[in-house]
């Protein structure tokens, strides 16, 4: 069942190591999916360029979302927005969250990111 992105309490608790690993996996899977729209060779070339120019390997993307965003924009220009939208749709779907076109992708990343927006309980 899909939930609205605005229903923040339904999102997983990102502080659990097990959940953290599944969220990281969902991010990488979503990036793979989005870039695959350009073809496998282009996807692999984009990963290579990001690694060479920005020192971020594919598996490091979940920890470097801002750098990935900047690199994608550098490489694809305005086309990066379409790819980011594909990535976000796939990412949100994998979390059981409805992706809405009206929200900027950065806002959704912030709501669904690896960073827990609530302080840890002591």
Residue ranges of alpha helices (H) inside 1-122 are 17-36, 40-54, 65-76, 79-95, 105-112
List Cβ neighbours of 21 (8 Å cut-off, separation of 6 or more). Answer: none
- The 10s digit of each residue's pLDDT in 22-77 is 888 999 999 999 999 999 999 999 999 999 999 999 999 998 988 999 999 999 99
Query: Is the CATH code 1.10.10 the one for domain 16-112?
Result: no
d(Cα 87, Cα 101) in Å, to the nearest integer? 12
- The 10s digit of each residue's pLDDT in 67-107 is 999 999 999 999 998 999 899 889 888 888 777 766 555 55
- The pTM assigned to this predicted structure is 0.71
Question: Domain map of the chain by residue range?
Answer: 16-112
d(Cα 50, Cα 35) in Å, to the nearest integer? 13
- In what helix (H) or strand (E) does residue 97 lie, and over which residues does it extend? strand 97-98
């Amino acid at each position: 069942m899909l939930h609205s992105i605005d229903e923040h309490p339904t999102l997983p608790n990102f502080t659990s190591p097990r959940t953290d690993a599944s969220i990281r996996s969902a991010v990488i899977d979503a990036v793979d999916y989005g870039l695959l729209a350009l073809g496998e060779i282009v996807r692999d070339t984009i990963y290579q360029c990001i690694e060479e120019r920005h020192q971020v390997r594919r598996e490091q993307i979940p920890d470097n979302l801002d750098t990935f965003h900047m690199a994608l924009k550098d490489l694809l220009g305005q086309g990066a927005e379409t790819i980011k939208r594909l990535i976000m749709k796939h990412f949100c779907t994998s979390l059981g969250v409805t992706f809405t076109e009206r929200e900027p992708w950065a806002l959704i990343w912030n709501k669904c990111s690896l960073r827990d927006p609530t302080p840890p309980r002591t």
